[in-house]
């Protein structure tokens, strides 16, 4: 009797789940979606990779490469909180479903090269400054 009652109630009540990805929940305050790296600001310090509980970030500080194993991310946001230059953020968007492993590879300018670039730009500015 209890089971029949439950069955009928579930049959005629509103569904508790959605047909993702066709139906998506609207975002809300504190929503943690896709991880985004503003690679131009990244200093390749590796703090995100060291703190990530699922070890899905790899950083090559010499070459300026930042890699994310997309499907291994558990959306905890620890990397975002850890990043010293705040170049990581979580977009209010769901990651699309994939079949197989997805590696996101971003290329930027490593810290040493960035510093050399800044020095060169400063020297150029100084050299062309009007007298
Ligand atoms: S959100 Fe969490 S699991 Fe995903 S990359 Fe950042 S630290 Fe790792
Ligand atoms: S913590 Fe931030 S600056 Fe450091 S490697 Fe990660 S994304 Fe780049």
Q: What is the pLDDT of residues 2-22, one digit of tens each?
A: 899 999 988 999 888 888 888
| Protein residues with CB under 6 Å of any ligand 1 atom | 35, 52-54, 56-57, 73-79
Question: Residue 102 is encoded by which pair of tokens?
Answer: 């997805």
Which residue, judged by its Cα, is nearest atom 6 of ligand 2? 48
| Closest approach atom of ligand 2 to CA 46 | 5
- What number does the ligand 2 atom closest to the CA of 47 have? 1
Nearest ligand atom owner, CA of 61: 2
86 CA closest ligand 2 atom index: 2
Domains and CATH numbers, the chain: 29-111 (3.30.70.3270)
Note the pLDDT tens digit of each residue in 101-130.
999 999 999 877 777 777 777 778 765 444
Q: Which residues does residue 23 pair with via DSSP β-bridges, in sequence order?
A: none
Structure tokens that stand for 32 in this block: 């943690």
The model scores a pTM over 0.85: no
CA 6 to ligand 1 center in whole angstroms: 39
Nearest partner of 94 among 18, 24, 30, judged by Cα: 24
């Amino acid at each position: 009797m209890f089971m029949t009652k439950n069955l009928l109630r579930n049959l005629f009540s509103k569904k508790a789940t959605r047909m993702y990805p066709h139906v998506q929940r609207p975002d809300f305050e504190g929503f943690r979606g896709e991880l985004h790296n503003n690679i131009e600001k990244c200093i390749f310090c590796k703090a995100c990779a060291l703190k990530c509980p699922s070890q899905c970030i790899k950083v090559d500080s010499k070459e300026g490469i930042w890699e994310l194993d997309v499907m291994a991310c558990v959306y905890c946001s620890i990397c975002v909180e850890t990043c010293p230059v705040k170049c990581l953020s979580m977009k209010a968007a769901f990651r699309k479903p994939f079949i197989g492993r997805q590696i996101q590879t971003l290329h930027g300018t490593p810290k040493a090269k960035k510093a050399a670039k800044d020095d060169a730009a400063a020297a150029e500015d100084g050299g062309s400054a009007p007298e």
